[in-house]
Amino acid sequence: GAVVSQHPSWVICKSGTSVKIECRSLDFQATTMFWYRQFPKQSLMLMATSNEGSKATYEQGVEKDKFLINHASLTLSTLTVTSAHPEDSSFYICSAPDSTDTQYFGPGTRLTVL
């Protein structure tokens, strides 16, 4: 199947700093990518849809100014958590659909905000 990578796999930062997470589709192009958040022992919650060449669309309750999304190319989307706080600590996962609309998921990024 297709491969989606994320970088970094884990990050620890101080409260108030910003963290950028990259999501790449390695062997296919994706005009759309998705960002999810997963709390411990819970399901994935869709945060936003990243659209190549246009603004991201955010789910209700997700602050667009806090979670900045940039879909720079057909293989790269970035999520920047701005002014991170301990409550932003979570597991962030991206996905991208291939040409058959099958979603492939990245390995996730564990963010810990001290």
Partner 1 sequence: AQSVSQHNHHVILSEAASLELGCNYSYGGTVNLFWYVQYPGQHLQLLLKYFSGDPLVKGIKGFEAEFIKSKFSFNLRKPSVQWSDTAEYFCAVNGLNNNDMRFGAGTRLTVKP
The residues of the shown chain that bind partner 1, judged by CB under 8 A, are: 1, 32, 34, 41-46, 49, 93, 95, 97, 100-108
Nearer to partner 1, 49 or 80 (CB): 49
Q: CA 14, 88, 83: angle at the middle one, nearest 5?
A: 50
16 near 82, Cβ under 8 Å? no
Distance (Å, whole) CA 107 – CA 12: 17
Nearer to partner 1, 6 or 78 (CB): 6
Nearer to partner 1, 78 or 95 (CB): 95
The answer for residues whose C-beta is within 8 angstroms of residue 75's C-beta and 6 or more apart is: 24, 25, 26, 28, 29, 30
Nearer to partner 1, 17 or 26 (CB): 26
CB 11 → partner 1: shortest distance, Å?
16
CB 63 → partner 1: shortest distance, Å?
19
CB 23 → partner 1: shortest distance, Å?
12
Whole-angstrom CA distances from 72 to 16, 40, 91 are 25, 30, 22
CB 107 → partner 1: shortest distance, Å?
4
